[in-house]
Amino acid sequence: MDMIRKRYDPDPKYGYVGITGACQITGWSVSSLYKAIAKGTITYYKPNGRILFKIEELVQWIERSQVPAINQQ
């Protein structure tokens, strides 16, 4: 009998999301997110082998990436 592995997606109300939630927040593909993890450019948590992201930290990371507008006159 095959065991069906239950997929656990963290509840965002606790402040954490998985890979798919992080993709929705950042607008990146799954592969791009994994590349950022490998390069160490994005913070993540790995309890019990599961990659999780704090929603607040993702938003802060996006906001730190702001490029100032160029004032053209």
Give per-residue pLDDT as tens, 29-43.
999 999 999 999 999
């730190």: which residue's tokens? 64
Residue 19 lies in a domain: yes
Q: How many helices (H) and strands (E) would you count in the chain?
A: 3, 2
User: 53 has which bridge partners?
Assistant: 17
Residue 45 lies in a domain: yes
Read off the pTM: 0.74
Residue 59 lies in a domain: yes
Domain count, the chain: 1
Domain of residue 46, residue span: 12-64
* Token pair recorded at residue 14: 């606790």
Angle at CA of residue 38, ends 34 and 44, nearest 5°:
70
User: 16 has which bridge partners?
Assistant: 54
């929603």: which residue's tokens? 55
Q: What is the mean pLDDT of the chain?
A: 86
